[in-house]
Structure 1
Amino acid sequence: MVKAKQADLTRGFTQLATELIALDTWVESDEPILYGAVTTGDIWQFGSFDRQERKVSQDLMLYRVPTDLEILMQILVGILMQGF
């Protein structure tokens, strides 16, 4: 997870993408996709890195706390459960 500095989600997502690509070289795992999030605290956005295609994808949806808290929790639990 990346904390967006000065509420700049665009710059925060660039940092997230860089970290996901770097994580791919450090983590030995069979997981085909790495997931991450960028947040201002009140707003969340998700991204993923397809390890085989070497492609970063950005979710265009923004999730707000507390308005979208239920769906946000479902997404986070879903990401965590993929490893099990």
Structure 2
Amino acid sequence: METEYDFSQGKRGAIEPTTPGKTRITISLDDEILAWFREQVHLAGGGNYQTLINDALREYIQQQREPLAETLRRVLREELERINK
């Protein structure tokens, strides 16, 4: 082991660059949540628990957009009932 190291060419930040379209963040999750996602990856025979979390969040966002369709259906039913009276 050297007694002195030269860090003059060192760079701050992550060692590996992030993939385009992704942002590296730090997030705190409950232990049970993280354990569940890791277990799901293990049961699936491998993969990346972070990708699984990302997919779950994406699916949740998509579900939040769907109520608009339900609202439109309700309004259309109400209007059709009003017209048929």
TM tier relative to shorter chain: under 0.3
**TM (normalized to structure 2)?**
0.25
Larger relative contact order, structure 1 or 2 (CA cutoff 8 Å, min sep 6): 1
**TM (normalized to structure 1)?**
0.26
- Give the greater-gyration-radius structure (CA): 2
Higher strand proportion: 1
